[in-house]
């Protein structure tokens, strides 16, 4: 690569002043996501106690109906809805590869919030796991930002992305039917993170097409896929809240979500076809580090010691209000 190529690459990745606006907007969305997750988690736990049935194998319709009467869950849902709006707004200003990984800030905020609310301090192993998640995501995206190229999505590539989403969603649905009674928080978190990665990608595509005035049948198909992935992912998230603490759930989402979105760009869109060989190995190492961090957090988090009912019993006295 000569100096001309380097100069052109630098210009390609230099953000325009307007594009920097997406960064603080995305950070606000991350904070809203943290508070929304904490309140939703509180509502799910309350419904479990009131219904006398664990939701770790999947929430039933009656439990969903009870969630609608829990002020904490409703407040959390509104905050999450606002977080989504804020994050979509950030995508109108900045590239996906810049703003999407900033959601990892929500992991740190959620860990602090959950520690204060539950009165359970993170142990050293959990803190190291959080550091692995944040460090892995930051390094992964930093490498992608300087080795990948932003390419428009054509109709054929978009159909491929939608086809992969159908296969992935079908596979997750089948796995959920088989594994749901084992109550694995890690499975629910990974599944939701993968689906939300497709949601982020499709959202960016839809926003770009609407900005260009291209609203046709394929855009409508993208919207349909986006909504279905968001609904299925949201169900897995609610089930994950019944299987583990909120910071563990957010860890999985903020690690896996951006990585899936970036991997779609690399594998399907060919955004890393000119990346050097060392970048490919770096992608593998940093991604493995971040995902291993999620696994270690699931294994060593103090609130994951013992069965779910025991965890709920320990948290019951600190429940601030019967109406939460």
pLDDT of residue 167: 93
pLDDT of residue 163: 92
Q: Inform me whether the pLDDT recorded for 322 exceeds 80.
A: no
Q: Are 39 and 76 in contact (CB under 8 A)?
A: yes
Give the mean pLDDT of 267-273: 73
Q: Inform me whether the pLDDT recorded for 207 exceeds 70.
A: yes
Q: Inform me whether the pLDDT recorded for 256 exceeds 70.
A: yes
CA distance 240 to 225: 22
Grade residue 54 by pLDDT with cuts at 50, 70 and 90: low
pLDDT in tens, 216-233: 888 889 899 999 998 898
pLDDT in tens, 96-127: 666 767 777 787 888 877 777 777 787 888 88
Q: Inform me whether the pLDDT recorded for 13 exceeds 50.
A: no
Q: Are 131 and 255 in contact (CB under 8 A)?
A: no
Q: Which of the pair, 301 or 28, is modelled with greater confidence? A: 28
pLDDT of residue 60: 67
CA distance 136 to 119: 28
Q: In the 8-state DSSP scheme, what is residue 15?
A: P
pLDDT of residue 48: 75
Q: Are 232 and 59 in contact (CB under 8 A)?
A: no
Average pLDDT, the chain: 76
pLDDT of residue 309: 37
Domain boundaries, given as residue ranges, for the chain: 3-318
CA distance 104 to 123: 20
Residue ranges of alpha helices (H) inside the chain are 3-13, 22-51, 61-67, 71-93, 96-99, 105-118, 124-147, 155-179, 185-211, 217-241, 246-267, 277-300, 308-315
CA distance 21 to 51: 45
Task: Please list, in sequence order, all residues whose beta carbon lies within 8 angstroms of the beta carbon of residue 248, skipping any fewer than 6 positions away.
Answer: 185, 189, 240, 294, 297, 298, 301, 304
64, 228, 261, 252 alpha-carbon torsion, rounded to 10°: 20
Q: Which of the pair, 60 or 121, is modelled with greater confidence? A: 121
Grade residue 317 by pLDDT with cuts at 50, 70 and 90: very low
Give the mean pLDDT of 58-62: 69
What is the rounded radius of gyration, in angstroms, for the C-alpha atoms of the chain? Answer: 20
190, 193, 194, 195 alpha-carbon torsion, rounded to 10°: 120
pLDDT in tens, 179-203: 776 657 778 888 888 998 888 888 8
pTM for this one? Answer: 0.74
CA distance 45 to 67: 10
pLDDT in tens, 120-166: 787 888 888 888 888 888 887 777 767 766 667 778 888 888 999 99
User: Which range is most confident: 25-29, 62-66, 275-279?
Assistant: 25-29
What is the DSSP secondary-structure string of 48-87? HHHHTS--TT---HHHHHHHTT-HHHHHHHHHHHHHHHHH
Q: Which two tokens stand for residue 40?
A: 């939703």
């Amino acid at each position: 690569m000569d100096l001309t190529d380097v100069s052109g690459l630098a210009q390609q990745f230099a953000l325009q002043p307007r594009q920097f606006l997406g960064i603080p907007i995305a950070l606000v969305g991350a904070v809203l996501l943290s508070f929304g997750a904490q309140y939703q988690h509180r509502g799910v736990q309350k419904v479990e106690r009131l219904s006398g049935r664990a939701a770790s194998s999947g929430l039933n319709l009656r439990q969903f109906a009870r969630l609608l009467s829990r002020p904490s869950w409703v407040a959390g849902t509104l905050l999450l809805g606002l977080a989504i709006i804020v994050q979509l707004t950030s995508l109108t200003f900045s590239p996906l590869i810049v703003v999407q990984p900033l959601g990892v800030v929500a992991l740190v905020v959620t860990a602090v919030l959950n520690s204060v609310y539950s009165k359970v301090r993170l142990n050293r192993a959990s803190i190291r796991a959080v550091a692995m998640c944040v460090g892995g995501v930051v390094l992964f995206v930093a490498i992608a930002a300087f080795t990948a190229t932003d390419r428009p999505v054509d109709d054929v590539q978009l159909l491929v992305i939608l086809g992969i989403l159908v296969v992935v969603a079908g596979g997750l649905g089948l796995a959920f039917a088989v594994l749901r009674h084992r109550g694995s928080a890690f499975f629910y978190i990974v599944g939701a993170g993968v689906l939300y990665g497709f949601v982020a990608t499709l959202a960016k595509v839809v926003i770009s097409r609407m900005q260009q005035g291209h609203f046709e049948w394929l855009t409508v198909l993208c919207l349909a896929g986006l909504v279905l992935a968001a609904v299925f992912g949201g169900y897995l998230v609610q089930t994950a809240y019944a299987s583990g603490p909120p910071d563990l759930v957010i860890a999985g989402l903020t690690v896996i979500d951006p990585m899936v979105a970036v991997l779609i760009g690399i594998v399907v869109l060919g955004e890393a076809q000119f990346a050097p060989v060392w970048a490919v190995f770096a992608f593998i190492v940093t991604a493995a580090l971040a995902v291993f961090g999620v696994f270690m957090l699931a294994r060593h988090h103090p609130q994951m010691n013992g069965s779910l009912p025991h965890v709920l019993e320990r948290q019951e006295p600190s429940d601030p209000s019967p109406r939460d």
